[in-house]
Chain A
Amino acid sequence: MKFVTYLAKRTVASVFAVLGALCLIFFISHVLPGNPVLSRATGASLGTIQQVEQQLGLNRPIGAQFVDYFSGLAHGDLGDSYVTGRSVGSDLAQRAPASIELALFATLLALLVSVPLGIYAAVHQGKLVDRIARALSSLAVSMPSFWVALLLIYVFYFKLSVGAAPLGRLDASLTPPPSVTGLYTVDSLIDGQFGTFVNAVWHLVLPAVTLAIVVTAPLVRITRATMLEVLTQPFITCGRALGLSERQVIFHDALRNSLASVLTVAGLVFGYLVSGSVLVEQIFAWPGIGQYAFSALTNNDIQGIEGFVLVVAVTYVGVNWLVDLLYGVIDPRVRV
């Protein structure tokens, strides 16, 4: 199979996955017996409820609502929130950079810790270091993220007073840098505001560490497992027989051949973090899409929730698609 065919196949599959997810979301929000008006307006008379339903178009046949929903989406319109009256699409777009910045930092942090740890554990398989690494990663994956966040806030903000207050992306006294990428760390450097950059990083540390702790385990596991597998291959033995140094064998030969699997999991982790940080964003008052989802949930804002799940599905599928693409670039065997 040629790489182009492979790519086309993956793209078509991804598009169908997103469309399927949209149908599922539509089904959940429009067909399941929950009534968005009723659930908000407890105590309202039946007449009022019907009137509101008519205004919102909720009393129309499901088929017509389905067509409306998809034609809106095709025009890039995620609808207006029933609660705030604002456009869900522009709200989410405005908040996306904050979530992306956090997820990016958390993923990088997790990779920096877990890849070396995974390599070390694989090279010393079965020894004490390996056992400790595995025990630590099981422990990390078992701790609820919201609890880790509170623990870090207590220790580093309250006790040691070195962490930033869990109140958003910058100190209240600072103004955000002019938006280029939307990532405060990058934008402040572009604008040359070093003080703002340091402050932005300082605010990123605690939430990013929280998320990194949660996703370390799968990264350590995959690094260790693929390294173990690669290290048994004949070409490794051959390299050693040829007198290559152990460092050369591990980092140059084994690691490079393990990278594809690590990358796959890292992509999944990043996709999960962009969307999966509802709890952590809420705790750190981080103005990303997770916090938006939280307020939509607590206000029973159906349009807002739908928009959020749409973004989640697109990110998740999109990142997987990108990883498949990179996989083809890294590993030439995928292309033949």
Chain B
Amino acid sequence: MSIAAEFQVRRRILHPSWARGLAGEHGLLAGLILLGVLVLAALLGPVIVHDSPTSTAYGPFSPPSAAHLFGTDDVGRDVLARVFHAIQLDLLLAAVICVLAAVAGAVIGLFSGFAGGLVDLAVMRLVDIMMSIPAFILALIIAVMLGNTGQTMVLAIAFAYTPVAVRIVRSQVLSLRELPMIETSRAIGTPASRIVLWHVLPNTYSVLIAQATLFLAWAILDTAAMSFIGVGIHPPTPELGAMVSEGSQDIVSGQWWVSIFPGAFIAFLVISFSLVGDGLRDYLDPRGQR
């Protein structure tokens, strides 16, 4: 990267001209709006719809109506009330997974990229090995072995995503390490720890944040998929994937609303996060503009 390009990167991170940038990124804007609506729904929904997410008092399998917009399920719970609570839970789980994976990836990636040599080689081989098993399958087996609870599922998924973050941070570190500003810093005697934390780490944020947003999208899909097959969050806790699973038996007899509504909200959440993630990546990375 030339000095001009480096300056460009730093300027964009330090002084983002949000208004101009966002207007040019339709996808990013659309994603942020959709995400805002979903978060509002999760927060305000339970206040507006007073139905309890666990009460079975509403009569089984009543189709969508004015009283129950999304209908009721097989034991007579209100699907809409459950969807609101499920979005809250899924957003929380995804956020925890995303933070765990991004932080672990940043720490290991920084260390590996800066240490170089044998340490780097060992870390990268381990990353390769972890990535030779699809992330979902890797997370699935770990979650089951650790005891099939919500916490183990979160840990397992975060563990399975970590190698992706490690790779991204490390490759950033490798290119940043060679920059004149780092060389200058070293020449005037800045300690290595300060160089890593003050000069290298902040410059990996843009790429890391874009990837972390994509982690959120993956995490929503994977937590839902795991809970769908009975790993992680178990009924009667309202979780979107578990709700789709609860209704899946009844879809062949026509009670579509029990699974289709929760599943649609999984898709909405994933779309909003991937739009934001892709948009951020294009916006924050001046080199990758297509």
From B16-24, B47-55, B138-146, B165-173, the one touching the partner chain is B138-146
Give chain B nearest CB distance to A161 CB in angstroms.
Answer: 11
Instruction: Determine if A150 and B260 form an interchain contact, defined as CB atoms under 8 angstroms apart.
Output: yes
Cross-interface CB contact of A29 among B145, B231, B260, cutoff 8 Å: B145
> Which A residues touch B259, using CB under 8 A?
147, 150
Give chain B nearest CB distance to A2 CB in angstroms.
Answer: 24
Q: Which residue of A lies closest to B125 (CB)?
A: A20
Question: In chain B, residues 239-254, which have Cβ atoms closer than 8 Å to a Cβ of chain A?
Answer: 241, 244-245, 247-248, 251-254
Task: Let me know if A138 is at the binding interface, CB within 8 A.
Answer: yes
Max chain A CB contacts within 10 Å: which of B130, B137, B230?
B137
Instruction: Determine if A17 and B132 form an interchain contact, defined as CB atoms under 8 angstroms apart.
Output: yes
Q: State in angstroms the CA–CA spacing of A18 and B133 once bound together.
A: 9
Task: Let me know if A272 is at the binding interface, CB within 8 A.
Answer: yes
Max chain A CB contacts within 10 Å: which of B141, B231, B251, B271?
B141
Instruction: Determine if A147 and B129 form an interchain contact, defined as CB atoms under 8 angstroms apart.
Output: no
> Which B residues touch A39, using CB under 8 A?
147-148
> Which A residues touch B125, using CB under 8 A?
20
Instruction: Determine if B266 and A144 form an interchain contact, defined as CB atoms under 8 angstroms apart.
Output: yes
Q: State in angstroms the CA–CA spacing of A283 and B244 once bound together.
A: 12
Question: In chain A, residues 194-249, which have Cβ atoms closer than 8 Å to a Cβ of chain B?
Answer: none
Task: Let me know if A330 is at the binding interface, CB within 8 A.
Answer: no
> Which B residues touch A143, using CB under 8 A?
263, 266-267, 270
Question: In chain A, residues 130-178, which have Cβ atoms closer than 8 Å to a Cβ of chain B?
Answer: 138-139, 141-147, 150-151, 153-154, 157-158, 165-166
Give chain A nearest CB distance to B148 CB in angstroms.
Answer: 8
Give chain B nearest CB distance to A307 CB in angstroms.
Answer: 11
Question: In chain A, residues 104-139, which have Cβ atoms closer than 8 Å to a Cβ of chain B?
Answer: 138-139
Instruction: Determine if B132 and A20 form an interchain contact, defined as CB atoms under 8 angstroms apart.
Output: yes
> Which A residues touch B129, using CB under 8 A?
17, 20-21, 23-24
Give chain A nearest CB distance to B244 CB in angstroms.
Answer: 6
> Which B residues touch A145, using CB under 8 A?
225
Task: Let me know if A264 is at the binding interface, CB within 8 A.
Answer: no
Q: State in angstroms the CA–CA spacing of A18 and B140 once bound together.
A: 19
Instruction: Determine if A138 and B144 form an interchain contact, defined as CB atoms under 8 angstroms apart.
Output: no
Instruction: Determine if A305 and B141 form an interchain contact, defined as CB atoms under 8 angstroms apart.
Output: yes
**Which secondary structure dominates where chain B touches chain A?**
helix
> Which A residues touch B134, using CB under 8 A?
272, 275-276, 312, 316
Task: Let me know if B228 is at the binding interface, CB within 8 A.
Answer: yes
Q: State in angstroms the CA–CA spacing of A157 and B253 once bound together.
A: 10
Max chain B CB contacts within 10 Å: which of A17, A18, A147, A302?
A147
Instruction: Determine if A33 and B146 form an interchain contact, defined as CB atoms under 8 angstroms apart.
Output: yes
Give chain A nearest CB distance to B135 CB in angstroms.
Answer: 10
Instruction: Determine if B146 and A32 form an interchain contact, defined as CB atoms under 8 angstroms apart.
Output: yes
From A57-65, A87-95, A183-191, A292-300, the one touching the partner chain is A292-300
> Which A residues touch B271, using CB under 8 A?
138-139, 142
Cross-interface CB contact of A154 among B137, B147, B230, B256, cutoff 8 Å: B256
Give chain B nearest CB distance to A326 CB in angstroms.
Answer: 19
Known: A34-B146, A158-B252, A305-B141. A144 touches B130 (CB 8 A): no
Q: State in angstroms the CA–CA spacing of A142 and B214 once bound together.
A: 11
Q: State in angstroms the CA–CA spacing of A263 and B137 once bound together.
A: 24
Q: State in angstroms the CA–CA spacing of A154 and B48 once bound together.
A: 31
Instruction: Determine if B267 and A154 form an interchain contact, defined as CB atoms under 8 angstroms apart.
Output: no
Q: State in angstroms the CA–CA spacing of A278 and B134 once bound together.
A: 12
> Which A residues touch B264, using CB under 8 A?
147
> Interface digits, B110-151 against A, CB 8 Å rule (1 contact, 0 not)?
000000000000000110111011101110111011111000
Task: Let me know if A7 is at the binding interface, CB within 8 A.
Answer: no
> Which A residues touch B263, using CB under 8 A?
143-144, 146-147, 150-151
Q: State in angstroms the CA–CA spacing of A276 and B132 once bound together.
A: 13
Instruction: Determine if A305 and B144 form an interchain contact, defined as CB atoms under 8 angstroms apart.
Output: yes
Q: State in angstroms the CA–CA spacing of A309 and B144 once bound together.
A: 13
Q: State in angstroms the CA–CA spacing of A305 and B231 once bound together.
A: 14
Instruction: Determine if A144 and B251 form an interchain contact, defined as CB atoms under 8 angstroms apart.
Output: no
Give chain B nearest CB distance to A222 CB in angstroms.
Answer: 14
Q: Which residue of A lies closest to B240 (CB)?
A: A144
Instruction: Determine if A300 and B144 form an interchain contact, defined as CB atoms under 8 angstroms apart.
Output: yes
> Interface digits, A7-32 against B, CB 8 Å rule (1 contact, 0 not)?
00000000001101101110011001
Task: Let me know if A313 is at the binding interface, CB within 8 A.
Answer: yes
Q: State in angstroms the CA–CA spacing of A138 and B230 once bound together.
A: 27
Instruction: Determine if B141 and A28 form an interchain contact, defined as CB atoms under 8 angstroms apart.
Output: yes
Give chain A nearest CB distance to B216 CB in angstroms.
Answer: 12
Known: A20-B128, A146-B228, A297-B231. A34 touches B241 (CB 8 A): no
Task: Let me know if A282 is at the binding interface, CB within 8 A.
Answer: yes
Task: Let me know if A279 is at the binding interface, CB within 8 A.
Answer: yes
Known pairs A138-B271, A279-B229, A316-B132 / 11 extra A-B pairs, C-beta < 8 Å = A25-B141, A32-B145, A142-B271, A147-B244, A147-B267, A154-B251, A158-B256, A278-B137, A297-B140, A297-B144, A316-B134
Nearest 3 pairs between A and B by C-beta? Answer: A147-B263, A20-B129, A142-B270
Instruction: Point out residues on A near B: beta carbons under 8 Å.
Output: 17-18, 20-21, 23-25, 28-29, 32-34, 39, 138-139, 141-147, 150-151, 153-154, 157-158, 165-166, 272, 275-276, 278-279, 282-283, 294, 297-298, 300, 302, 305-306, 308-309, 312-313, 316-317
16 sample A-B contacts, Cβ–Cβ < 8 Å, listed by A number: A17-B129, A24-B130, A28-B145, A34-B144, A143-B270, A144-B244, A147-B267, A150-B244, A153-B252, A158-B253, A278-B137, A279-B229, A298-B229, A302-B145, A306-B141, A312-B137
